[in-house]
Amino acid sequence: MRRRSLAFDLLIGAAALAVLALLPLVFPSKALVDFMIRGSALALFATSLNFLVGYGGMVSFGHGMFFGLGAYSFALLMQRTGMPIPAAFALALAMCAALGLVVGAICVRLKEIYFAFLTLAFRLAAPPQSRMSRSSLRRGRSRRSSGRTAPARPRSSTLFPGRSGPIRVA
């Protein structure tokens, strides 16, 4: 079987990027934009995991720790400090790089199952997402506030605006 050229792969990637960039202009829906943002984030996660496991041959159980740290630190920086998006992105990236440097300095000397177990240990040492107060994240509580929070809004589905609560399929 013949291998594709790099130019062909880049052309396919550019065409897919162009279609994804034009899609919100053709279908102006907030739900579609939200879906594309979430899909792009998960595609980036899958691509980075493919580089690590597929090309590098290293099985890492702690890979999601960096993904979660980046996502939560960016969200909290934007919500609690009100800093601009590029600054919050750069700071979240620096935080992930610093953690990656520490974990990588320890794990880089290990191979195969030992690498997998140590990355699992780092992942288990990280605080789980369930410990974060999700209600305070939704209501926008900050340290600068006087302890009062905005009234809790009913959760609505992003696919079906105006509909509260879980979507049941009969």
Residue-wise DSSP of 41-75: HHHHHHHHHIIIIIIT----S-HHHHHHHHHHHHH
Inform me whether the pLDDT recorded for 140 exceeds 60: no
pLDDT value, residue 51: 83
Residue 131 pLDDT > 50, yes or no? no
Q: What is the mean pLDDT of residues 92-103?
A: 88
* Prediction pTM value: 0.56
Rounded Cα distance, 64 and 49, in Å: 9
State the Cα angle at 61 between 60 and 67, rounded to 5°: 95
Mean of pLDDT over the chain: 75
Q: Which residue has the tokens 């996660």?
A: 45
Nearest to 20 by CA among 43, 46, 49, 51: 43
Coil/strand/helix, residue 36:
helix
